Each structure stands twice: as structure tokens, then as C-alpha cells.
Amino acid sequence: MTVSDLPFGHHILLVEDDNVCLFAASEILSRLTAMVDMARDVEEASERLNAIAYDLVIADINLPDGTGMDILRHAYRSDQSKNKTTPFVALTAHQNKQKHQEILASGFIDVAMKPLSLARAYLFLEGCQAQSDKVATTADAEIIDLALGMKRIGASNDEKAVIAIGMLISSLKEDIVELKRLQAINDCVGVQTLLHKIKGGLEYSGTPRFQKYIVLLSCAISTSVDLSGAKPLFEAVYAQSTLLTRAYQELVTDRRR
């Protein structure tokens, strides 16, 4: 396989202190993208973040000289850092949901349980691609992609992909109402938590355009204490939710004819 055959062309920093885990995760990521740098602790990671602008950082939470949150804080707050808006994904062995919420609240866009799987790595890189694309490019993505939906749930026919989208839209009605409420009261942690929930459902549906807007919004507010600056993206998410619902209704109507 050549570099041109890889699904993504991102430059990633992987931070992990366990040699076996570091080797395994780097092998998985190297199957998907061209450049994977490695660091084994907070100090080494911080040095790399000062020297290189990365597309994505995947960091273990527990490290010998600190935590993955320490690395994220350095990236976003240090004057020397070249990664003030780079998305961070956390790696952890913790199954405690409250711990996961704390991690997300600190600015990570997602949390992955160890060991890192190829499927999860693909989704992170896919999301990273959405963040790096301009919104205009995002708008060119398909509203509904049944082939993608079939692939994501391992279905043998597109009927199940349609059902999955219907279930997503059903839950999305309440989610959008709640998202608007949280935006209105400037609840940054609440918005990030809800966006994480929505992203979980999107990973099993063929709705690439809406998913990309959700990822763009999540990345844009990952370290915010004031949501007002992201108002255009919030409005775009609400508009895309309406478009997705209409597209789904039209799809179901056409299939009944």
C-alpha cells in the first residue's frame, strides 16, 4: 500500500506510555493515515506540540508525569503551542461514565476505550476530516447515504439503514430542543455532553452531512466558556437537522410508492 492508497492524509500525534499499547495503536493508525508521531509522556508530547501543527492528537489519560488533560491544556493555552485548536481524543481504560464526562468537559472531542480498534480510529479520522474541511465543502456532502449506513451497521440491505436513520431522527427531535435550551443558557459542558451523545448515534447512520456539522460545532466549542462565538454553527446544525428530517420523509415516501 502506498500513501495515496490510505483513506486519510492527516498528521497525528499519539501519546501513550505503555510500549505494547503504543505499538498496537500506531500500527492501526498507520493503516489509515500517512504520518503518526509518538510521545510517551506529557513533557515529550508538549515539546512536539510546540514544534509541529497536528491534525489530531490521541492521548492516553494516565501518563507517568501527568494526564492527557495536561497535554490538552498546554496545547490550547501555551504561547509556544502550534495546536491551539487541534482536536483531542482521549484513550482510557476507565469504564466509569462520570470519568468520561469529566474528560469531555475538559475539551476532548471524544473518549475511546482501550484497546483502540481500527473502526474507532477510522471514525476519529473521519471526524477530523470534517473539522479540517471548510463549511462549504461540508455542505456538499450527501444528506443521506444509504450505502454508508449499510456499511456502518453491517447490514445486507438498505432497509435497515433507513430504519437506523428513522431512529436517529426520532431521538433528534428532543435533542435539538435540548441543544437550543443549553445554548440559550450558555451551558458549555451540557452542550458538549449532548453533542457527544448525538455523535454516538450518527456513527451508526448514513447521514454524513449532518455528522460533519455536528463535529464542526463540537470542535469549535471544545474549549469555550462562551458559546456566542459559535452561533453561526449552531444555526447551521439546526438548519441541517431540518433538511435531514425532510430528506428522510421524502425517502420514505418514495419507497412506499
**What is d(CA 212, CA 76) in angstroms, rounded to the nearest whole number?**
23
pLDDT for the residue 1: 40
Backbone torsions φ then ψ of 35, nearest 5 degrees: -125, 120
User: The CATH number of 136-256 is which of 1.20.120.160, 2.40.128.260, 2.60.40.10, 1.20.140.10?
Assistant: 1.20.120.160
**What is d(CA 186, CA 18) in angstroms, rounded to the nearest whole number?**
39
Amino acid (1-letter code) at residue 212: K
Pairing relation of β-strands 66-67 and 62-63? antiparallel
Q: Bridge partners of 124?
A: none
Secondary structure (H, E, C), the chain: CCHHHCCCCCEEEEECCCHHHHHHHHHHHHCCCCEEEEECCHHHHHHHHHHCCCCEEEEECEECCEEHHHHHHHHHHCCCCCCCCCCEEEEECCCCHHHHHHHHHCCCCEEEECCCCHHHHHHHHHHHHHHHCCHHHHHCCCCCCHHHHHHHHCCCCHHHHHHHHHHHHHHHHHHHHHHHHHHHCCCHHHHHHHHHHHHHHHCCCCCHHHHHHHHHHHHHCCCCCCHHHHHHHHHHHHHHHHHHHHHHHHHHHHHHC
**What is d(CA 70, CA 89) in angstroms, rounded to the nearest whole number?**
13
Kindly list the domain boundaries of the chain, sorted by start residue: 3-132, 136-256
pLDDT for the residue 140: 54
User: The CATH number of 3-132 is which of 3.40.50.2300, 3.40.50.12780, 3.10.180.10, 3.40.50.300?
Assistant: 3.40.50.2300
pTM value?
0.54
- Burial tier of 161 (Cβ tally within 10 Å: 0-12, 13-18, 19+): buried
- CB count within 10 Å of CB 157 equals 9
Q: Using N-to-C axis directions, what is the helix angle for 208-220 and 188-202, rounded to 10°?
A: 150
pLDDT for the residue 7: 66
Closest to 72 (Cα-Cα) out of 151, 3, 13, 121: 13
pLDDT for the residue 134: 40
pLDDT 10s per residue in the chain (257 long)?
443 456 677 899 999 999 999 999 999 998 888 789 999 999 999 999 999 999 899 999 999 999 999 999 898 888 899 988 788 899 988 877 778 878 887 778 788 888 888 888 888 887 666 555 444 444 556 889 899 889 888 888 889 999 999 999 999 999 999 999 999 999 988 998 999 899 888 888 889 889 888 887 887 776 667 788 778 788 888 988 999 999 999 998 888 87
